[in-house]
Amino acid sequence: QIVMTQSPSASASLGASVKLTCSLSGGYTSNAIAWHQQLPEKGPRFLMKVNSDGSHTKGDGIPDRFSGSSSGAERYLTISSLHSEDEADYYCQTWDTGIHWVFGGGTKLTVL
Amino acid sequence: QITLKESGPTLVKPTQTLTLTCTFSGFSLGTRGVGVGWIRQPPGKALEWLALIYWDDDKRYSPSLKSRLTIIKDTSKNQVVLRMTNLDPVDTATFYCAHLNILTTGHFFDFWGQGMLVTVSS
């Protein structure tokens, strides 16, 4: 049973950077993950896939301000030069043959 | 350009069966590597994966909901249908369908529908 742990909330100032974390549990610490952004009252949007080695592949039209990285069982989403429109919920997601598709609990990002 | 859109009833009574349709464009579910999944989100809560169907008609279900779910595809109509039986008010949620291609972005949903809210109430 995998658990993907995300902090419920995060905040940062306009123009600053923020690093969101997704922690993988158990025997799934080498899994790749995806980050999805969900703007208020909207459907999710795929941001990127992040591999265990830190390499990442972004979705169509995702700005360079968004980047991914990894360290051990942690997967990160860094947003630099924060814009007001970055205020959203951010979900991580993974997949494995036994567990299929699993989402984290989401982090609500507030831009101050 | 890949788009997906969910349709179906917005209000369902307890114990009834919910049938949702995902109509998509910009890809074919007959193409190797492609899959379409369903995910739900109760109000104010996190995303929960429900089911997925692959191009070759292979199907996957959430273990906790498997007995209540059926997913089918109609490749000629570019549609995927999800049926959920024995609805309960706790099943009230926004339902999303989403695309993946295991040959490009792996087992990650890279395009999502706008979602539709389904309320279960008598």
Provide the pLDDT for residue A2: 85
Residue B35, chain A, CB below 8 Å: the answer is: no
Of B62, B96, B107, the CB nearest to A95: B107
Provide the pLDDT for residue B100: 97
| A29 confidence band (pLDDT: 50, 70, 90) | confident
- Closest approach of chain B CAs to the CA of A41, in angstroms? 10
Indicate if the pLDDT at residue A16 is higher than 90.
yes
List phi, psi (to 5°) of B90. -70, -10
Regions in chain B scoring below 70 on pLDDT: none
Distance CA B39, CA A101 (A): 10
Residue A58, chain B, CB below 8 Å: the answer is: no
Distance CA A30, CA A109 (A): 26
Side chain identity at residue A107, one-letter code: T
Provide the pLDDT for residue A62: 97
Query: Residue A39's closest chain B neighbor by CA?
Result: B114
A chain contacts of residue B63, beta-carbon cutoff 8 Å: 100
Indicate if the pLDDT at residue A96 is higher than 90.
no
Distance CA A25, CA A16 (A): 30
What is the side-by-side strand order in the sheet with A66-71? A4-6, A18-24, A74-79, A66-71
Indicate if the pLDDT at residue A15 is higher than 90.
yes
| A1 confidence band (pLDDT: 50, 70, 90) | confident
Provide the pLDDT for residue A86: 98
Residue among A41, A96, A100, A102 with most chain B CBs within 10 A, to mutate: A100
Q: What are B73's two structure tokens?
A: 């595809």
Indicate if the pLDDT at residue A99 is higher than 80.
no
Distance CA A70, CA B94 (A): 31
Owner of token pair 């208020």: A40
- Which tens digit of pLDDT belongs to each residue from A36-94? 999 999 999 999 999 999 999 999 999 999 999 999 999 999 999 999 999 999 999 99
Query: Residue A60's closest chain B neighbor by CA?
Result: B110
- Closest approach of chain A CAs to the CA of B8, in angstroms? 17
3-state secondary structure B41-58: ECCCCCCEEEEEEECCCC
Nearest Cα neighbor of B38 from B106, B105, B112 is: B112
Provide the pLDDT for residue A97: 85
Residue A64, chain B, CB below 8 Å: the answer is: no
Q: What are A36's two structure tokens?
A: 């999805």
Distance CA A40, CA A65 (A): 20
CB contacts under 8 A, A 27-46 vs B, are 32, 34, 36, 42-46
Report the phi/psi class of residue B109: left, alpha or beta, with left for phi > 0 and alpha for psi in -120 to 50. beta
